[in-house]
Every structure is written in structure tokens, then in C-alpha cells.
Amino acid sequence: MSKRIVFTGGGSAGHVTLNLALIPHFLQRGWEVAYIGSTEGIERELVEKLDGVRYIGIATGKLRRYFAWKNFTDPLRVSKGAWQAYRFLADWKPNVIFSKGGFVSVPVVFGAWLNRLPVVLHESDLTPGLANRLSLPFADKVCVTFPDTLKHLPAGKGTHVGAIVREELKKGRKEQGLALCDFSPGKPVLLVMGGSLGAKRLNEVIRGTLDELLKQYSIVHICGKNQRDESLQKKGYKQFEYVQEELPDLLAMTDLVVSRAGSNAIYEFLELQKPMLLVPLSLAASRGDQLLNARSFEQQGFCAVLQEEALNEASFLQALKSLAEKRSAIAEKQRVAIGKPKDALAQVVAIIEEAAH
């Protein structure tokens, strides 16, 4: 009888992409694969198109750190989701659950614990997010990207595996990216990425400086769901709400990146040796994980950082100019860093397989 694994994680693309990198390895090994996510989240959109993966949608509630009326009703949705996850896991009887975090994962991990099923968590950021902190008591192992994260976990539960970068990102074709965007081959390309949910202020600054930027760069702007501006139709400027299959080709032609500081994304840019200007989410809009990620990368010389509170058109143009001047030095530090041998994905697969036994 083949082994079975359930993946979970969602709410943003960052809570799904690692699962997308792992799933093919288990399918190739003959495992049966299911994915528990929300009924309407981005994880459903990304996972349902995969062959050989069963998708189960459950009720979810957001884990907020601020007052909202939904804080009174969402616990009921989380309870319902935990019951739905418990019932599915009891019927399907997987060997192991792998959770990437995000609010949808909490009821799944709790349902797994009720079924006495082993759970492996993954934490990409320097400090554990709220969903993973709630899940920690019910997990057997936690895989982490940053070594310093181990200080925030119970002794013996965490394992530092490093960053996992999807192999397909390394196989992009520059010519295909240029053709997709109708860009001239001789001009440097600036990739702006605000995450799958977008970055409103960053989008505004890019569009406010667009004419100035287009003098030097062709610009790929991944602006987030429902944040395209159809009135901007300029040669050398290409907008996407979100990209998946196209991303390797877009990255292959990219010279400089402007991005939020989510761990998955910035490690992918590091692996591909793309000098970055990071604009991390501020404390007003997050728990501060992106600030820590950006500071760590800045201290290692992998990027430049512009805080969102200081973000305006003038400061952005100056920060981008400074990044371009340091581009060679940053790329060299990135090259040295990724030259160190590692296989994080193989480590995570081994940890999951050991938990399944």
C-alpha cells in the first residue's frame, strides 16, 4: 500500500510555493498526495491545477492582531475547519502532514493531533509566525530557513535546513521573457514584485516615477490581485497581477529587483543572483518578520533596504540609483553565498519521510 501525505498552507503565495516544490518529489516516489486549504484562497487556485493531487477545501478564519468584528465569528469558522480536517484525516489516514503555515494550517494541524498523526512544520521567516506558534505544541518537527530561528523553538524540535528554491526558477529563458513582455533586448530589466496580494504604496510609487524609470529600464510590474492599471499602456512597461509559469522566464531577463521581503521570494532572488532593493512591510501592517528578513540580508550584503515609512518617489529613485551603482559588489556576495554546498529540499524530504515512519 502506498504512503499518503497531506500538505497544508495558504493565505498568500509564500505559504504555498514551498509545498509546490515538495509535491512532485512525493508523487515521483509513489505517494498519494492531498492538500487541505481554504475554499477560495490562492492555494486552491495554485494547487487544483496539479495532476495527482486531491484538494480539500475547509472553513477558515483569519488570525488578526487588531480589532475587527469578524474576530467574534472567525473562531467558529476555525472550529468548523478543524472538524472538517479531523474528519478527512480520520477517513483518509495519511502517514504524515506537512504544514507551511498561514491561517488555514492551524485547524489542519489540530485535526492531525486529534488523529495522532505526525506533523512537520516549516518556518521561512526569522521568527515564527502566529499560525506556526499556535501549531508548535502539536508538531513533531519544525524545519527552519534561518539558523537564528532555532532560538525561538523548543529545544530539539527545530532543524535548520536553509532555503528551498524551486528548481524550475533556474531554467528560465531570457529570450522568452523579453518576447513575453515585448521588451528591447539591449535595455536592463527592473522587476517589481509586491507579493501575490500586492503592495499598494509601492505600486503608487512605481507608477508615479514610471516616465523617469523608463528612460533607463524596461519594467516588469507584478502588482497583485486587482491592482493592474489599464490606463498605463507604455512601451517597456508590462503589468501582471500574479505570475506562475511565466516567472522563470521573467527572472532570467531581470537585472535588478524591487520587492517586499518575504523569505521565500528573497531567497529565490539570492539563488539567482539578483541584486535587490527590499521594501519590507512595516510594523503598522505586519508583525515585523519582513523587517528582520531584510535586515539579515542587508547585513550580509545581499540587498539594499528602503523602509516603507521613508518610501516616496524621490527616496525610491535615489535608493534604486544606489543599488544600480553597487550591483556588481552585491552580485559577487550573492555568488559566494550560494556557492556553499547545500540541498535543503532533500533534507526536508528526509525529515518528512522519517516522521511518516
Over 70: is that where the pLDDT of 197 sits? no
User: Please, what is the average pLDDT of the chain?
Assistant: 89
| Confidence band, pLDDT 50/70/90 cuts, at residue 195 | low
What domains does the chain contain, in order, with CATH numbers? 4-162+343-356 (3.40.50.2000), 168-338 (3.40.50.2000)
- Which residue would you say has higher pLDDT here, 32 or 289? 32
Q: Which of 14-23, 43-52, 338-347 has the lowest mean pLDDT?
A: 338-347
Over 80: is that where the pLDDT of 316 sits? yes
Q: Give the global pTM.
A: 0.80
The one-letter amino acid code at 295 reads R
pLDDT digits (tens, 9 = 90+) for 203-256: 999 999 999 999 999 999 999 888 888 888 899 999 998 888 899 999 999 999
- Which residue would you say has higher pLDDT here, 304 or 200? 304
| Confidence band, pLDDT 50/70/90 cuts, at residue 61 | low
How large is the average pLDDT for residues 34-52?
90
| Confidence band, pLDDT 50/70/90 cuts, at residue 147 | confident
| Per-residue pLDDT, 101 | 87
| Confidence band, pLDDT 50/70/90 cuts, at residue 75 | low
| Per-residue pLDDT, 149 | 92
| Per-residue pLDDT, 63 | 55
Set of cell numbers at residue 128: 515564527
Set of cell numbers at residue 37: 486549504
- Which residue would you say has higher pLDDT here, 283 or 333? 333
Q: Counting Cβ atoms within 10 Å, is residue 349 exposed (0-12), middle (13-18) or buried (19+)?
A: middle
pLDDT digits (tens, 9 = 90+) for 79-112: 888 899 999 999 999 999 999 988 899 999 999 9
Hey, is 58 helix, strand or coil? strand
The one-letter amino acid code at 18 reads L
Of 91, 253, 111, the C-alpha closest to 182 is 253
pLDDT digits (tens, 9 = 90+) for 335-349: 988 876 568 889 999
